[in-house]
Amino acid sequence: MANIAVQRIKREFKEVLKSEETSKNQIKVDLVDENFTELRGEIAGPPDTPYEGGRFQLEIKIPETYPFNPPKVRFITKIWHPNISSVTGAICLDILKDQWAAAMTLRTVLLSLQALLAAAEPDDPQDAVVANQYKQNPDMFTQTARLWGHYYGGAPEPGPEYTRKIDKLTAMGFEKNAVIAALSSKSWDVETATEQLLSN
C-alpha cells in the first residue's frame, strides 16, 4: 500500500480509538492484518431504531489510492435495511461512492453508517424487497428489522410471534438463515415462505 495511505489510516485508526464514540461503545475498529489494508469495524444500533441494542460488524478494505478514494465497506452482520443488501451486506451510501472527499475519515464513515441505520433512504435502495416493505408496511419492516437485529446483532428479542414461525419452518428441516430470509421477504406468511424454500 502507498506510504501516504498507510500513514493516513494509522492516524485515523488512532483517532477512532481515542474518540468519544469509542469510549461510549458506539463505534469500534480493529486491525485484521498488520499492514492496515483490512480493518474490522463495529457500530452500535442507534437508540429509538429497530437496531437498538444490536452490534453490527463491518468489513473495511482500504484501497491503495486512499484517501483519494473511499474505503470498500460492507456489513458482515446480516441486517434488514433498505440501503444494505440483506444477502451480501453491500451498502448504498453516497460517501462510499461518488460523494467521498479526501478530508473524510474512518470515524466519519462509521458515524455515517450509524446515521444511515437511523435514517434510511428507501428511494435509493440497495435491497428492493426491504425498501418495498419499508414503504408499503412500515410496522412489518420495523418488526422484521428488530428480529434480524436480535438473531444476527444480539439485540433484544422482539416478540414470540415471529420466533414461532421461524421455529415451525426450521422444525421442517430448513436452515435457519434461509427460513428468516424467506419469511422476511414474504411478509411473514408461512405458506408462501415455505413455497419459496421448497423452490430453492
Active site residues: 92
Torsion of CA 58, 85, 112, 37, to 10 degrees: 40
Residue 154's contacts (CB-CB under 8 Å, 6 or more residues apart) are 53, 54, 55
User: What's the grid cell of residue 1?
Assistant: 500500500
Report the b/e string of 28-59 with b at 16+ CB within 10 A. bbeeeeeebbebebbbbbbeebbbbbbbbbbb
